[in-house]
Structure 1
């Protein structure tokens, strides 16, 4: 019995493992010259595997898709991800925010071990195999050896989202599926563009800490960075879906002080000092916070209130190909409970190509692994029943 997995990212690697463990002969087709390229990119800033927190809190990060993903994350959630990484020789540590990382802070040792396991299970990895859809019941590829057609008993699609095309996630697979099965792609976990005045240039690259970000009902106390084009970083990513959907960005530059306390401190400042000096001396604002205050609150009629809810005018999100992840893709309603396409029995889907989103912090990788395992197990069960 033969199985095919398309895409050698985290979801595809996990699906291939489950199919091979079930005794199927597995071909793993990857369009790029090597496997796991986006995983390796994530490891360059420290591979955040998952997050150690109560399960219901973890699940809530998936928003409207939490109920759909619940069984998959119950089967392979944060604890299982950590056990899996340890099985592959990774020593882990948990940061102060609950984020879990390998001690080596990179993805390459883990990926090498995963690929070695797949080789031991007999998985045949084919690189530079670009999926080109179906011809009748056969799955078609452009390959270095020319066009290839396979007719597996089951197929798992793990083709990625639509960001970072150079790493393999370009959303091109959407051309091979019915339009009513797809939700439009949108950027997720991305930075936002801001038209800065010239005085901000000296602060480009500076981190901003100890600020609360608000976008609609979404809030974050995460760190972010002032860049030449706008705002980037984890704090922005946590509220990015609300910002993308039109909520204004408000910054509380002094979340541990009330507006009255701010007003009282400013009242004690020397009146002849410049506004910048009064903010710096009375409120001890760090340079990056002070720059933001001067950029957007200089003429505010109620300065304490403005510092508690500083409006930052955004010009929109950064381009989708520069986003960490994407929303949209293959609608979960187009799949059954085992992640099989209702319109194409025997074909399953997993990973970021599915229509769900979550903030950074370990949620993305955990759900990719969980859906890959779920699709692989259900594909194997389907094959055995043929």
Structure 2
């Protein structure tokens, strides 16, 4: 048996390890933290969204990296669902197409997966921090001091640059040339908004039944007003465009057309204030009325202008929240650094997978599926590389 090394024990690394073991290689997984799958477990705290059950075209269009499509086509939603069930985890699909384990947790799936990897003789070493290469040797700082390994093949799966405390610190990028790395950027993150004092009563309030807009896209979702700004699934869905400069807007009444809103605003107002008139006739919740006052005061008296604001309220912000708060990151190992098999062009036999790669996708199951798919692809390609005839 030839030996294989995987660096990083998140979903991408564990999937690569299993693919290598299934190909008959002896596999060691090196993880810098005291335990494995930390970000995976954190993702499962709010319900582990494994994938998205939708058409192949819709699914693949969610990713911004065409060069990863072969891996995603080989291991997409259907395969992820079968994989989870093969690990003894019953799944269900929500009304939005999002797929979850029935337990809604990551820990039962991870335990079953680790048990299966152990049965395949995969060895996991924790508290092993990769410090780079020394010639052909891969170097680690371990509890027992510095250790060097010279495996037949290696898969790098060390994550992106968010959630540093869980292991995704991006420090690995220092081992590569600048031209091999696309700059890290936060992805699926909230935005900084410096609220006025009048919003204090609404901090922590949810924004439901809204649609977020950026760069021509308009997506239904939810958000939360926080002391730091605005965040939540709806914001994350348009965060990439807003991060890159597109104006961010909120449709406060997505079930009504602008004409319908204007018609309701034209109803007899009597002695009501404008706020009370909107509350009664548009059924706007206090937090939505507060947002209108926050960003559009003084409100226009003309019903047409006010209706346009209700349907497309500009949301000025001070940019994304810090990268370490982001759910994921864009940037990482660039397409120019890798061949079609995800092998480093400058280091034959070394492959990369997961969030280390320069790709981006929204939440909703795409992130975990992307990590699983690229991890599996890198593992399979590494195994094929290890099995090639070696010229004397």
TM-score between both structures, scaled by the size of structure 1: 0.98
SS for the counterpart of 2:198 is: helix
Q: Of 356, 379, 384, which residue of structure 2 is paired with 1:381?
A: 384
Could you tell me how far 1:269 is from its partner in structure 2? Answer: 4.0
User: After alignment, is 69-78 or 38-47 more displaced?
Assistant: 69-78
Which residue in the other structure is 1:315 paired with?
A: 318
Q: Deviations over 1:71-97 (max 9, x none)?
A: 111110001000000011111111110
SS for the counterpart of 2:145 is: coil
Q: What aligned pairs does 1:64-103 form with structure 2 within 5 A after superposition?
A: 65=65, 67-103=66-102
Which residue in the other structure is 1:346 paired with?
A: 349
- Alpha-carbon distance between aligned partners in 2 of 1:27 and 1:269, rounded to the nearest angstrom: 74
Which residue in the other structure is 2:216 paired with?
A: 217
User: After alignment, is 8-17 or 299-308 more displaced?
Assistant: 299-308
Which residue in the other structure is 1:21 paired with?
A: 22
- Alpha-carbon distance between aligned partners in 1 of 2:326 and 2:260, rounded to the nearest angstrom: 39
Matched, 1:7 2:33: no
Could you tell me how far 1:209 is from its partner in structure 2? Answer: 1.7
Matched, 1:59 2:83: no
SS for the counterpart of 1:295 is: helix
Q: What aligned pairs does 1:248-267 form with structure 2 within 5 A after superposition?
A: 248-267=247-266
Structure 2 portions without partners, runs of 5+: none
Could you tell me how far 1:112 is from its partner in structure 2? Answer: 0.5
The count of aligned residue pairs is 384
SS for the counterpart of 1:222 is: strand
User: After alignment, is 200-209 or 180-189 more displaced?
Assistant: 200-209
Q: What aligned pairs does 1:190-339 form with structure 2 within 5 A after superposition?
A: 190-301=189-300, 302-339=305-342
Which residue in the other structure is 1:33 paired with?
A: 34
SS for the counterpart of 1:359 is: coil
SS for the counterpart of 1:317 is: coil
Q: Deviations over 1:102-140 (max 9, x none)?
A: 111110000011111111111110000000000011000
Could you tell me how far 1:325 is from its partner in structure 2? Answer: 0.3
Q: What aligned pairs does 1:104-115 form with structure 2 within 5 A after superposition?
A: 104-115=103-114
Could you tell me how far 1:10 is from its partner in structure 2? Answer: 0.2
- Alpha-carbon distance between aligned partners in 2 of 1:89 and 1:313, rounded to the nearest angstrom: 47
SS for the counterpart of 1:270 is: coil
- Alpha-carbon distance between aligned partners in 1 of 2:177 and 2:295, rounded to the nearest angstrom: 46
Could you tell me how far 1:217 is from its partner in structure 2? Answer: 2.2
Q: What aligned pairs does 1:39-50 form with structure 2 within 5 A after superposition?
A: 39-50=40-51
CA contact (8 A) 1:297 1:303 kept: no
- Alpha-carbon distance between aligned partners in 1 of 2:294 and 2:225, rounded to the nearest angstrom: 12
- Alpha-carbon distance between aligned partners in 2 of 1:277 and 1:224, rounded to the nearest angstrom: 24
- Alpha-carbon distance between aligned partners in 2 of 1:27 and 1:62, rounded to the nearest angstrom: 30
Which residue in the other structure is 2:185 paired with?
A: 186
CA contact (8 A) 2:214 2:246 kept: yes
Matched, 1:130 2:133: no
SS for the counterpart of 1:70 is: helix
The alignment's C-alpha RMSD in Å is 1.0
Could you tell me how far 1:251 is from its partner in structure 2? Answer: 1.0
CA contact (8 A) 1:219 1:238 kept: no
Which residue in the other structure is 1:164 paired with?
A: 163
Which residue in the other structure is 2:358 paired with?
A: 355
SS for the counterpart of 2:29 is: strand
- Alpha-carbon distance between aligned partners in 1 of 2:256 and 2:22, rounded to the nearest angstrom: 56
SS for the counterpart of 1:211 is: strand
User: After alignment, is 337-346 or 297-306 more displaced?
Assistant: 297-306
SS for the counterpart of 2:46 is: coil
Structure 1 portions without partners, runs of 5+: none
CA contact (8 A) 2:293 2:299 kept: no
- Alpha-carbon distance between aligned partners in 2 of 1:180 and 1:56, rounded to the nearest angstrom: 32
Could you tell me how far 1:358 is from its partner in structure 2? Answer: 0.3
Q: Deviations over 1:215-271 (max 9, x none)?
A: 112321011111111111110000000010011111111222222322221121424
